[in-house]
Amino acid sequence: MKLLVVLSALVALCASHAIPTIPGDNSHYVEGESRYIWMPDGEGKPVLVDLHEPVDEALLQTRNGANNAYWLFTRNNQNNAQVIVHNNVNTIWGSNYQGSRPLKVIVHGWNNNGNTAMNPLITSAFLAVQDCNVIVVDWRALANSNYNTAAAGVPSVGQHLGNFLTWLINTAGGNWNQVHLVGFSLGAHVVGNAGRQTGNRPARITGLDPAGPLWGGNSNALNANAGQYVEAIHTDGHLLGIFNPVGNADFYPNGGKNPQPGCWVSTCSHGRATELFASSVRTNHFVGRRCGNVWEAELSSCNGATFNMGNGIVTKRGSGLYGLLTRNAWPF
């Protein structure tokens, strides 16, 4: 009899939702309300994230932006990184960095690192079309902590990146009008902070599906004040990405949300922004049409003026919301 009473109490407790329900997927996720969400790990496999998990303050003290690693790639070393260490001038002089070249900077997201597929994909695209310096920022020391801790450390990662770029250009040459920062997910907010740290000097900043959870209304999020021109490509809005406009120009391929064409796993749509951007750098074939509002963008019913999405043109300038349709496989 006592066992029956205990079992009945447990059933009642579960029915009252005292124990949070863990979802099987993200279909019922509501930003700002849901506790759990599935996010991709470094290999794209879904990982359950608890958005109520406490920030590890002790870890933030040791794994902040001071641990950023800066990997240089050029046409002379397309596959082998040369590490430039902040405040160590010998690491610049011993590298292939040339201040006369345009500078591209790529920043990964949560649970990723400098070797994650998006980095060589975008690096090779830049180097295929332009003789430039490409710096991949590896911030894995913090990015591979729990999501809430990594998100809390984004401002520090971005500020250290901004200070590094200022030192690099002041020491070895460069032109802010030839600097293009590209960040994916949490990395999009990193480059936003980096741009603001430099006094908004980068010519162009591109946010690839800027991370959504914990970033709505966050003053540290990517915004149009981070650089001379800020562009965002939204592919998983309302879930892993922010849906509302954050830049001078915001693009919403295929409605800007899940599922993107060819995506059968919910976490696929988030990473699609990196693939679309890499393809756009190589061929610049994505043509958006201006939307009257964000609802038109979500419905892909925009028919205004044309403006190309993505590409690596550092002098690119524009404003507004744009919708377009893509195919389901590379080059999309």
The tokens of 240 are what? 């892993």
Q: What's the rounded mean pLDDT across residues 233-260?
A: 97
By the 8 A CB rule, do 86 and 167 touch?
Answer: yes
102 pLDDT more than 50 = yes
Sheet containing strand 306-308, edge to edge, reads: 77-84, 69-74, 133-138, 103-107, 179-184, 204-208, 230-233, 249-253, 320-324, 287-291, 306-308
Q: What's the rounded mean pLDDT across residues 229-237?
A: 98
The one catalytic residue in 95, 145, 156, 185 is 185
Q: Answer whether CATH 3.40.630.30 is correct for domain 25-324.
A: no
Q: Determine the number of helices (DSSP H) and then strands (DSSP E) in the chain.
A: 10, 13
25 catalytic, yes or no? no
Name which of 75, 76, 143, 133 is nearest 106 in CA terms. Answer: 133
pLDDT per residue as tens digits for the range 105-150: 999 999 999 999 999 999 999 999 999 999 999 999 999 999 999 9
Conformation bin of residue 310: beta by default, left when phi > 0, alpha when psi is -120 to 50:
left
The one catalytic residue in 156, 180, 189, 209 is 209
DSSP letters, 8-34, are: HHHHHHHHTTSSPPPPSSSTT--TTT-
pLDDT band at 18 (very low <50, low <70, confident <90, very high): very low
pLDDT band at 5 (very low <50, low <70, confident <90, very high): very low
108 catalytic, yes or no? no
Output the CA–CA distances (angstroms, integers) from residue 93 to 32, 80, 135, 172, in the order listed.
48, 17, 15, 8
Angle between helices 268-283 and 118-129 (to 10 degrees): 10
* Length of the chain counted residue by residue: 332
State how far Cα 91 lies from the chain centre: 27
Q: Decide: residue 215, CB within 10 A, 0-12 exposed, 13-18 middle, 19+ buried.
A: buried
pLDDT at 6: 35
pTM value > 0.85 = yes
pLDDT at 20: 52
Calculate the average pLDDT of the chain. Answer: 93
The helix or strand, by DSSP H or E, that contains position 193, with its residue range, turns out to be helix 186-197
17 catalytic, yes or no? no
E strand map for the chain: 36-40, 46-50, 69-74, 77-84, 103-107, 133-138, 179-184, 204-208, 230-233, 249-253, 287-291, 306-308, 320-324
The conformation of residue 239, written as its DSSP 8-state character, comes to: T
pLDDT band at 8 (very low <50, low <70, confident <90, very high): very low
